[in-house]
């Protein structure tokens, strides 16, 4: 039977399909335990698809979870790299595999010979050079991981943002993009926003973030105006729905907008408009982070605004893009040019 992830009405919201041998019983027990712990449906869905990748590999190689050894994990990594999986995805699947094994066996896979593990002090002599000079805990042995290259995500430029907004024809779509660009919201946070989360009188938004964590953000006047136009002219009044953003046409008119519908909004414009091929939903959120950093917003404040649990995650939005580096270089060169020109004239 072909393994797949299915939506479940009982237990965890997402489960692996069971075959006649019950080979995914451990996986479904693990997913149920995550559900009992209170993890969100989206988190359990991510775990389920990681387990799907693992179990398909196990089926091909005639192995089971309970038989896994550390060298098997290295083989799993090699198989993932062969199909082009990204390093972050591989590391996440390794973590899911270790948690599943710990759930089944009560311990992690035993370390044996012929293994290549990261060095114990690969992060440097006990200091974090990005966040400050403080000691990091040292471990005698690290877990198997794939090296993740440091990549720089370029924010959108002004011309791209203007071109994208010019392609929008509905107030609802304008609200979606503005919430990402001017408030830094994630796609899930935009879709899960309720009508009661928008407080016009206090110019405040309540955001339901990852892990059920809520945060409050100021409501910019331009977004408040767009929301008012959307509620007045577009949002169906007859259908009872607590979500702010709903479907505007078709059989599902008045029902909550889905993640697939939001992706379609961005995908259609990337395909039809020139110069915005990289304008996806998360790129607008990244642009917000870069814009706030350019305006001098401090790291702790930006971390709270974006709903990051760790300050290290916020740093990727503060790192300078090539455009920022070029602009700073040009300003510095102009000052140097004036300095040396003045020196020449005075001699």
Here the CATH number for the domain that contains residue 307 is 1.10.443.10
| Residue 347: per-residue pLDDT | 47
**Which of 73, 105, 137 delimits the end of a domain?**
105
**Which of 105, 130, 145 delimits the end of a domain?**
105
* Domain around 55: 5-105
Q: Are residues 243 and 310 in the same domain?
A: yes
Strand intervals (E) in the chain: 5-7, 14-16, 198-199, 204-208, 214-218
- Whole-angstrom distance, CA of residue 210 vs CA of residue 202: 24
Helix axes 259-272, 171-183, angle to 10 degrees: 90
Structure tokens at 347: 């001699």
Q: Are residues 265 and 190 in the same domain?
A: yes
| Residue 227: per-residue pLDDT | 96
* 196-239 per-position pLDDT tens digit: 999 999 999 999 988 788 999 999 999 999 999 999 999 998 76
Contact present, 15 and 6 (Cβ < 8 Å): yes
**Which of 105, 124, 139 delimits the end of a domain?**
105
Query: Is residue 193, in this structure, part of any structural domain at all?
Result: yes
* 20-63 per-position pLDDT tens digit: 545 788 999 999 999 999 888 888 999 999 999 999 999 899 98
Q: Are residues 206 and 91 in the same domain?
A: no
What global pTM score does this model have? 0.75
Tell me if residue 283 falls in helix, strand or coil: helix
């Amino acid at each position: 039977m072909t393994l797949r992830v299915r939506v479940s009405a009982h237990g965890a919201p997402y489960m692996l399909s069971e075959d006649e041998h019950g080979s995914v019983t451990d996986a479904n027990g693990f997913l149920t335990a995550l559900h009992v712990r209170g993890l969100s449906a989206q988190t359990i869905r991510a775990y389920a698809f990681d387990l799907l990748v693992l179990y398909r590999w196990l089926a091909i190689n005639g192995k089971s979870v309970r038989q896994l050894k550390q060298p098997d994990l290295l083989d799993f990594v090699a198989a993932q790299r062969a199909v082009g999986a990204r390093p972050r995805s591989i590391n996440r699947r390794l973590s899911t595999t270790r948690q599943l094994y710990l759930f089944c066996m009560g311990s992690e896979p035993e370390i044996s010979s012929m293994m290549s593990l990261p060095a114990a002090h690969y992060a440097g002599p006990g200091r974090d050079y990005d966040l400050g000079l403080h000691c990091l805990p040292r471990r005698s042995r690290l877990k198997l991981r794939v090296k993740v290259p440091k990549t720089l995500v370029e924010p959108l430029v002004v011309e791209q943002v203007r071109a994208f907004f010019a392609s929008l024809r509905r107030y609802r779509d304008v609200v979606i993009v503005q919430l990402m660009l001017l408030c830094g919201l994630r796609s899930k946070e935009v879709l899960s926003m309720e009508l009661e989360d928008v407080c016009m009188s206090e110019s405040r938004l309540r955001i339901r973030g990852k892990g059920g964590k809520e945060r409050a953000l100021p409501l910019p006047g331009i977004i408040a105006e767009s929301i008012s136009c959307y509620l007045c002219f577009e949002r169906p009044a007859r259908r009872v729905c607590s979500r702010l953003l709903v479907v505007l046409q078709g059989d599902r008119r008045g029902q909550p907008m889905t993640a697939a519908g939001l992706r379609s909004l961005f995908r259609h414009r990337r395909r039809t408009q020139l110069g915005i091929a990289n304008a996806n939903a998360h790129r607008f959120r990244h642009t917000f982070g870069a814009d706030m950093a350019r305006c001098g917003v401090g790291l702790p404040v930006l971390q709270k605004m974006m709903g990051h649990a760790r300050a290290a995650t916020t740093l990727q939005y503060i790192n300078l893009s090539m455009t920022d580096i070029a602009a700073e270089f040009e300003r510095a060169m102009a000052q140097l040019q004036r300095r040396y020109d003045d020196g020449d004239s005075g001699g």
